[in-house]
C-alpha cells in the first residue's frame, strides 16, 4: 500500500514539475477561463436579477471547457514522447497510473479554480467569501477528473483526439455540470446548506460511481 502511494505521488510530482516548466496546460487553461468570465461579465448587466441565475452557469462553463483543455493534453503529451509506455512498463498494477494522473489533474484544476473564482466573484458583484463554493468546486472537479482522466487516455489512442474527448466527456458529465450549477446558484444566492445538499449528493454519487468504474476499466483503455 505504501509503495502504491509512493508511485501515485511520484506520478503527480512528475506531472506537476513538468507542467511547471513547460506551462503548456496552465497558461491555456487559465487564460481561457479568465476570458470566459470577463466576456460574460461584460455581456450581462450586473444590476439585473437575471445575473444571479446566469452567473453560476458562466462559472461552470469556464471550469468545464478550461478543464477539458487540460484533460486533452493529459495523456496526449505522454503518448507523443513515449512517456505513457514508460509508465506502462513500470512494475505495478496499471490502475495506479489512473490514480496518479487523476490526482495531478484534480490538483491542477483546483489551483486554476482557486485563481478564477475570486475574479468571478468580483466581476459579478458577489461577496468574496462563499466557502460553500469551495466544496462544490472540489466535488464537481473530482467528478470531472474521474471521467476526464479515463476519456483522455481513451482519446489519446485516436487520431481525432481533440474531437473525441469533448464528444465523450460532455454528455457523461452533464449530471455533474447541472448539479454544480444548481448548487452554486444556491450558494451564491446565500441560501442555507440544506438547499444545496441534494445537488451535492448527486455529485458525490457521480464521483463514487466513476472513480470505481474508471479505475477498474483503465487498464483495458491503455492497451490498444
Partner 1 sequence: MSANAGIAIETRGLTKTFGEREALGGIDLKVAEGECVVIFGPNGAGKTTLIRVLATLARPTSGTVRIAGLDLQREGPAIRRRIGVVSHQSFLYENLTVYENLSFYSTMYDVPRKEKRIAEILELVGLADRRDERVGTLSRGTQQRLAIARALLHDPTILLFDEPETGLDQRAGAFLGNFLKTLTSGKRTVLWTTHRLELGLELAARVIILHRGKTVFEAAGQSLTIAELHQTYARCTEEPR
Among 43, 45, 49, 91, binds partner 1 (CB under 8 A): 91
Nearest partner of 143 among 27, 60, 73, judged by Cα: 60
User: Dihedrals φ, ψ of 48, to 5°?
Assistant: -80, 155
Per-residue x/- marks for partner 1, 9-48, CB under 8 A?
-x--xx--xx--xx--------------------------
CB of 222 to partner 1, least distance (A): 9
Size of the site for partner 1 (CB under 8 A): 24
Q: Which residues contact 206 (CB under 8 A, 6 or more apart)?
A: 143, 175, 176, 179
Cβ closest to partner 1, residue 13 vs residue 163: 13
| Cα gap 193→198, rounded to integer Å | 10
Among 82, 118, 190, 201, binds partner 1 (CB under 8 A): 82
| Cα gap 188→185, rounded to integer Å | 5
In this structure, are residues 107 and 12 in contact, taking their beta carbons and an 8 Å threshold? yes
Cβ closest to partner 1, residue 49 vs residue 223: 223
Q: Is 157 in the site for partner 1 (CB under 8 A)?
A: no
CB of 73 to partner 1, least distance (A): 13
Cβ closest to partner 1, residue 77 vs residue 121: 77
Binders in 92-111 for partner 1, by CB under 8 A: 92-93
Q: Is 89 in the site for partner 1 (CB under 8 A)?
A: yes
CB of 116 to partner 1, least distance (A): 25
Q: Is 81 in the site for partner 1 (CB under 8 A)?
A: yes
**Binding region for partner 1 (CB under 8 A):** 3, 6-7, 10, 13-14, 17-18, 21-22, 81-83, 85-93, 223-224
Amino acid at each position: 500500500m505504501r509503495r502504491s502511494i509512493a508511485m501515485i505521488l511520484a506520478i503527480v510530482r512528475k506531472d506537476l514539475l513538468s507542467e511547471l516548466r513547460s506551462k503548456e496546460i496552465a497558461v491555456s487553461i487559465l487564460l481561457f477561463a479568465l476570458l470566459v468570465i470577463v466576456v460574460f461579465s461584460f455581456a450581462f448587466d450586473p444590476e439585473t436579477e437575471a445575473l444571479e441565475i446566469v452567473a453560476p452557469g458562466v462559472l461552470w462553463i469556464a471550469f468545464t471547457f478550461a478543464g477539458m483543455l487540460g484533460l486533452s493534453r493529459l495523456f496526449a503529451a505522454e503518448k507523443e514522447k513515449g512517456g505513457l509506455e514508460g509508465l506502462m512498463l513500470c512494475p505495478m498494477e496499471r490502475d495506479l497510473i489512473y490514480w496518479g494522473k487523476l490526482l495531478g489533474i484534480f490538483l491542477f484544476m483546483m489551483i486554476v479554480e482557486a485563481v478564477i473564482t475570486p475574479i468571478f466573484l468580483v466581476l459579478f458583484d458577489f461577496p468574496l467569501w462563499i466557502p460553500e463554493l469551495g466544496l462544490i468546486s472540489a466535488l464537481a472537479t473530482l467528478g470531472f477528473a474521474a471521467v476526464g482522466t479515463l476519456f483522455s487516455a481513451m482519446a489519446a489512442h485516436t487520431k481525432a483526439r481533440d474531437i473525441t474527448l469533448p464528444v465523450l466527456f460532455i454528455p457523461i458529465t452533464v449530471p455533474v455540470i447541472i448539479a454544480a450549477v444548481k448548487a452554486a446558484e444556491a450558494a451564491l444566492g446565500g441560501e442555507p446548506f440544506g438547499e444545496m445538499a441534494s445537488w451535492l449528493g448527486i455529485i458525490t454519487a457521480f464521483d463514487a460511481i466513476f472513480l470505481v468504474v474508471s479505475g477498474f476499466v483503465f487498464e483495458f483503455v491503455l492497451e490498444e
